[in-house]
């Protein structure tokens, strides 16, 4: 278990689970929670015995938004100087794969945090939305950018400018989430996905994540070239040699995850 106060953590089967733990605030994202999530995820990334992170909340709320009480006192100058969301930017830059298990509310910052994850497993009760417009602001943790790249301009404009929520079923249709399962199965399914990722060769997993993310930031020709270079790089790894040897010898591969 963890030494943190706004999250709990545990590591089993090469997966570090980070559970948001601010039940009195529906897991609203304050600065302390951001710093603790980032610290736990960084520790997981540097641990050779961990291959994936599972991020989850409660049955009622993955995260209901950013902590408005904490933000309300800021001015334009102070919120810029404090750079209050910088930790989430750093989380998005980590190389370790992140799987989000989402039940209940994933609104505002909660929706943005889910979109930082690489795979989202949603329960049937999950609700996604960017309601910041109702507070006189707009998303600030990448909501306008990641949402538009995922669901397209029309839907992103609808959600950002009206603040409307979408269901898990709608989110799956739009490509916002990877899978939708029964609420009772969300954490189990997400754990299975995270463990499957974690038991694949670590370098291949990290470069696979890197290559997919590059597709959002590069023209197709440049992205194809980048993918090819990463593909070629993996032919110098022990796990590539083991994986192909195991295939030709018709046995199970014993990866070293290095």
By annotation, the residues acting in catalysis are 66, 109, 112, 132
- Here the tokens at position 210 are 């890197």
Nearest-angstrom CA–CA distance, 59 and 178: 19
Report CA 161 to chain centroid distance, whole Å.
Answer: 24
Distance CA 131, CA 160 (A): 7
Cα–Cα dist 143/128, whole Å: 11
- Say how far apart CA 114 and CA 108 lie, in whole Å: 10
Q: Which two tokens stand for residue 235?
A: 């032919």
Q: Which residues of 11-35 are buried (b: 16+ CB within 10 A; e: fewer)?
A: beebbbbbbbbbeebbbbbbbebbe
From the centroid of its chain, how far is CA 254? 28
CA-to-CA distance for 168 and 189, rounded, in angstroms? 15
Hey, which residues does 127 pair with through a beta bridge? 105, 167
The token duo for 8 is 């709990």
């Amino acid at each position: 278990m963890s030494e943190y106060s706004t999250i709990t953590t545990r590591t089993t089967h090469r997966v570090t689970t980070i559970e948001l733990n601010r039940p009195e605030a529906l897991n609203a994202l304050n600065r302390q929670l951001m710093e603790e999530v980032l610290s736990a995820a960084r520790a997981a990334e540097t641990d050779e015995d961990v291959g994936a992170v599972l991020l989850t909340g409660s049955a009622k709320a993955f995260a209901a938004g950013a902590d408005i009480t904490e933000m309300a006192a800021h001015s334009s100058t102070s919120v810029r100087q404090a750079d209050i969301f910088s930790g989430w930017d750093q989380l998005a830059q980590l190389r370790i794969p992140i799987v989000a298990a989402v039940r209940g509310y994933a609104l505002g910052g909660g929706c943005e945090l889910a979109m930082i994850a690489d795979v989202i497993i949603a329960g049937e009760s999950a609700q996604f939305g960017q309601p910041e417009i109702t507070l006189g602001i707009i998303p600030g943790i990448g909501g306008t950018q990641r949402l538009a790249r995922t669901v397209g301009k029309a839907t992103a404009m609808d959600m950002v400018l009206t603040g409307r929520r979408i269901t898990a079923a709608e989110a799956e249709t739009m490509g916002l989430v990877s899978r939708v399962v029964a609420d009772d199965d969300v954490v189990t399914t997400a754990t299975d996905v995270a463990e499957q990722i974690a038991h694949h060769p670590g370098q291949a997993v990290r470069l696979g994540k890197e290559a997919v993310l590059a597709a959002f930031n590069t023209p197709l020709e440049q992205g194809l070239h980048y993918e090819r270079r990463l593909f070629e790089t993996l032919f110098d790894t022990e796990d590539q040699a083991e994986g192909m040897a195991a295939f030709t010898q018709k046995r199970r591969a014993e990866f070293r995850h290095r």
